Amino acid sequence: MKTIKIALVGQPNVGKSHLINAFGDTRLKVGNFSGVTVEKKTIRFTRDEYNFEVTDLPGSYSLTDYTIEERVTKNFLDDGDYDLILNVLDSTNIERNLYLTMELLALDKKVVVALNMQDEAVNEGVFIDDKQLSKLLGISCVPTSALKKTGIDELMGAIVQAFDTPKKTCHLQYSDPYEEEITKITSFFTEKNYQSDIDLKTLAIKLLREDTQIYKKFRDEAIWTELQPMLNESYEHLYIHYKTKDLDGIYHDEKNALAKGAVKESVKFDNAKDNNGLTDKIDMVLTNQYVGLPIFLFLMWGLFQITFEWGSIPMDWIDAFFGAMIDGTKSFLGDTELASVIADGAIAGVGAVILFLPNIIILFTGIALLEATGYMARAAFLLDGFFHRFGLHGKSFVPLVSGFGCSVPAYMAARVLKNDRDRLLTLYITGFMSCGAKLPVYVLIIGAFAAPEHAGNILFGVYIFGAFLGLVAAKALKMTAFRGDDEPFVMEMPKYRLPTFGMVFHAVSQKAMMYLKKAGTFILAASVLIWFASNYPKYPEMEAQFETKIEQVSGDEEKVKALNNELSLYKLENSYLGQVGHASQPFFEPLGFDWRMAVALETGLAAKEVVVATMGILYGLGDEEDEESSSLADKLRANVTLPSAIAFIIFAMIYFPCLAASMVFRREAGGWKHWIYLFIFTTAAAWILAFIAFTIASVIFS
């Protein structure tokens, strides 16, 4: 069976990912904001006797290399291994989409065009004569709708046909003056019998655009001495004719003129049907200069309220379920080490993590909806003025908001920022946006110390405060380490779209699975490890001593209980975990943390979910006898003061991200150097701010 390798290229939001899903049963993240697909992904499937290998390249408006996405796409098109390019177009915005097509055609590769969003185009009165367009461009253009799944078979047919037939030479006819210079150069190459692995016309255009790579290549060749004066002459001709010295600009004008011409000859517009109307009407409210921002803040506030309020309902069930499982295991296996490692270690740790699955699902559903509807871009528009003041970019909003979900995708989403400095700055402060895994920590502590009716507001406040600190940090960094020019803001505002159920479901289920997978593997292992470290080494002598004491006072319930507690505490403090906690206590002492809180934070370096799991084990084992205060929150209240609880929240909010996230940060920021900087920066900031909070709170609440 033959394999067809396809490079999937298109501008952002044209439905590339949807189209792949329509091809076969494949999973891909789909979203309605430029920059959701930042990495190229490869999908394989078999159809009609052929193997297909589709590489979904990040959406790019043109083949330049300003943004990372564009760079990824351009490099793959230049050097990647593929048989043909499948260029997906948004038919409703055909002219602008054809700009890119024209650039692709100049690459001298096989190209097939999918005129996607055909359903919408017809509704909006855009009628494309695909036969005529195919003839004009010299390639197959197939109308499709990824949403309605029409035209897919025809598209596959066109792909197979293009694959099986030899490539035709470039069909594009630029304006006469431009063609003249192209011909001069190509005939010079032919005369010289120059052996080129790319098409001569393609080569000529690259030279006329002063393409740096081609220049580098030629500079080492003998032909350069003759070529250079010729090129200079051509440039002069172009300068005079176009009245500008911007060679790249001249090429783009040529290319745009071609697109305009193609549209004129093959597309009919029914202006009566032109309905920008709906998006206009919605935007009149949502981006309104007075109510736009309040609406945005209200939506965000609502999302956090729902996350907390609705999330707490299934949480009670999950809590009860794991509680029953722990009791069941213990009564089944008896009072043994095995029962303890399973119940107090594995089940308690994993249960504490799964408890927060409802919150995660609700929050990510909200974010997925914001993305899929196109509202994200509006939010970026509304916020840019504000963000810019802190040296950030309106688009920084995307990674920063994703940061409320999980830092891992957030760090990756920072690729929407094309200027390296802006991206680095955003990367550094993304951690201030509390990720979903920190939510359990906040919920636990707020739940323990605040009245239930205030909990939602306080949680919202914690998130806002974190974000505010992030902005201050951004400003500080921008004025010191990241001084320099800003990158342009220019950003598309996509049309509003109703998100499909599948889209949201994919996005949310992916996140939920990621979270659960972590719970099932990493956190399970970490829980057992922590259990072990908190139960060993054993102190048989001490236990014997206490046993005799307990026998002596037998009958006096109170004293027995006190002794038992004393023993548990002794064992814990002298366990491996206790030793680590004690060793680091001097560092945490000024913040009012006991050794258990220190340990919880340290284990949280592996994953933030582990913080709560650790606390569950450490505070849970301490007083098994105490029936009344069985919930972790009650135990916390008994052991931790309010000022140190506040300091704890602040420290947990700012300190170093989890292992997985920090590794992604290292990759995105470009090296261990930044990883170390981030460690120092976050630890110092966390300690100082927690110390300030602790000091102030101690004064207020004393």
Partner 1 sequence: MTLNLLQKGKSATITTINAEKELKNRFNSFGVVKGATVHVEQYTLAKQTMEIRINKTRMALRVSEAEKVEIS
Tokens, residue 104 = 């692709």
Taking the least distance from each CB to ligand GDP, the nearer of 37 and 55 is 37
394 touching partner 1, by CB under 8 A: yes
Phi-psi region of 194 (alpha: psi -120 to 50; beta: other; left: phi over 0): beta
For residue 420, the minimal CB distance to partner 1 (Å) is 13
Q: Strand pairing of 141-143 and 84-90?
A: unpaired
Q: CB of 162 within 8 A of CB of 140?
A: yes
Residue 360, contacted partner among ligand GDP, Mg ion, partner 1, none, CB below 5-8 A by kind: none
Binding-site partner at residue 388 among Mg ion, ligand GDP, partner 1, none, CB < 5 to 8 Å by type: partner 1
Distance from C-alpha of 592 to C-alpha of 597, rounded to nearest angstrom: 9
Min dist CB 306 to ligand GDP, Å, is 23
- Choose which of 24, 26, 64, 559 interacts with partner 1 (CB under 8 A): 64
By CB under 8 A, residue 345 contacts partner 1? no
Q: Is 293 in the site for partner 1 (CB under 8 A)?
A: yes
Output 146 or 408, the one with its CB closest to ligand GDP: 146
Q: Does 294 bind partner 1 (CB under 8 A)?
A: no
Binding span for partner 1 by CB under 8 A among 289-297, 309-317, 361-369, 535-543: 289-297
Q: Which of 5, 237, 252, 666 binds partner 1 (CB under 8 A)?
A: 252
**Partner from Mg ion, partner 1, ligand GDP, none contacting 497, C-beta within 5 to 8 A by type:** ligand GDP
12 near partner 1 (CB under 8 A): no
86 forms part of the interface with partner 1 (CB under 8 A): no
Task: Show the tokens assigned to 646.
Answer: 């506040």
CA distance 524 to 520: 6
Q: What region, left, alpha or beta, does residue 125 occupy, with left being phi > 0 and alpha being psi -120 to 50 degrees?
A: left
* Closest residue by Cα to residue 660 from 526, 507, 462, 469: 526
- Pairing outcome for strands 41-47 and 50-56: antiparallel
Residue 660: name the closest of 412, 382, 351, 390 by CA: 412
Contacts of 27 (CB under 8 A, 6+ apart): 21, 506, 510
Of 17 and 97, nearer to Mg ion (C-beta) is: 17
The pairing of strands 2-10 and 50-56 is parallel
Determine, following the binding rule CB under 8 A, whether residue 249 of this chain makes contact with partner 1. Answer: yes
Question: Roughly what angle, to the nearest 10 degrees, separates helices 247-266 and 224-242?
Answer: 60
Minimum CB distance to Mg ion, residue 153 (Å): 22
119 binds, among Mg ion, ligand GDP, partner 1, none (CB under 5 to 8 A by kind): ligand GDP
Q: Are 133 and 262 in contact (CB under 8 A)?
A: yes
Residues whose CB falls within 8 Å of the CB of residue 546, separated by 6 or more in sequence, listed in order: 563, 564, 566, 567
Shortest Å distance, C-beta 273 to ligand GDP: 15
Q: Assess 287 for contact with partner 1 (CB under 8 A).
A: yes
* CB proximity list for 588: less than 8 A, separation 6 or greater: 597, 598, 601
Binding to partner 1, residues 473-532 (CB under 8 A): 487-495
Residue 379 binds to partner 1 (criterion: CB under 8 A)? no
The contact set with Mg ion (CB under 5 A) reads 17, 37
Q: Which residue is nearest to ligand GDP (CB)?
A: 15
Query: Is the Cβ–Cβ distance between 22 and 146 less than 8 Å?
Result: yes
Tell whether residue 277 is a contact of partner 1 (CB under 8 A): no
Q: Which is nearer to partner 1, 279 or 312 (CB)?
A: 279
Using CA of residue 170, residue 175, residue 178, residue 180, what is the dihedral sign?
positive
Contact 608, 438 (CB under 8 A): yes
Interhelix angle 595-603/576-588, rounded to 10 degrees, is 100
The smaller minimum CB distance to ligand GDP, of residues 228 and 500, is found at 500
Q: Does 382 bind partner 1 (CB under 8 A)?
A: yes
Interface residues toward ligand GDP, by CB under 6 A? 10, 12-18, 30-32, 37, 59, 116-117, 119-120, 145-147, 372, 497, 500
Instruction: Give me 643's structure tokens.
Output: 């000022």
Task: Give the nearer residue to ligand GDP in terms of CB position, either 122 or 306.
Answer: 122
Residue whose CB is less far from partner 1, 282 or 562: 282
Q: Which two tokens stand for residue 698?
A: 């101690």
Q: Which of 56, 69, 371, 384 binds partner 1 (CB under 8 A)?
A: 384
DSSP 313-364: HHHHHHHHHHHHHHHHHHHHH-SSHHHHIIIIIIIHHHHHHHTTHHHHHHHH
What is the nearest approach in angstroms of partner 1 to the Cβ of residue 212?
A: 12
Among partner 1, ligand GDP, Mg ion, none, the one that 110 touches (CB under a kind-dependent 5 to 8 A) is: none
Among 279, 579, 585, 629, binds partner 1 (CB under 8 A): 279
String of contacts with partner 1 for each residue 90-109, x by CB under 8 A: --xx-xx--xx---------
- C-beta closer to ligand GDP: residue 13 or 359: 13
- Indicate the residue among 376 and 613 with the shorter CB distance to ligand GDP: 376
Which whole-number Å values give the CA distances from 134 to 140, 145, 158, 258, 265, in the listed order?
5, 18, 11, 14, 11
Would you say 91 or 614 has its CB closer to partner 1?
91
End-to-end C-alpha distance for the chain, whole angstroms: 78
CB-wise, 37 or 614, nearer to Mg ion? 37
Yes or no: say if 571 and 577 are a contact pair by the CB < 8 Å rule: no
Q: Which does 682 bind (CB under 5 to 8 A by kind): ligand GDP, Mg ion, partner 1, none?
A: none
How many residues bind partner 1 (CB under 8 A)? The answer is: 44
Q: How far apart are CA 507 and CA 36, in angstroms?
A: 11
Is residue 142 a contact point for partner 1 (CB under 8 A)? no
**Complex with partner 1: residue 55 or 287, whichever CB lies closer:** 287
Q: What is the chain's length?
A: 702
- The residues of the shown chain that bind partner 1, judged by CB under 8 A, are 61-62, 64, 66, 92-93, 95-96, 99-100, 246, 248-249, 252-253, 256, 276, 279-280, 283, 287-290, 292-293, 377, 380-382, 384-386, 388, 394, 487-495
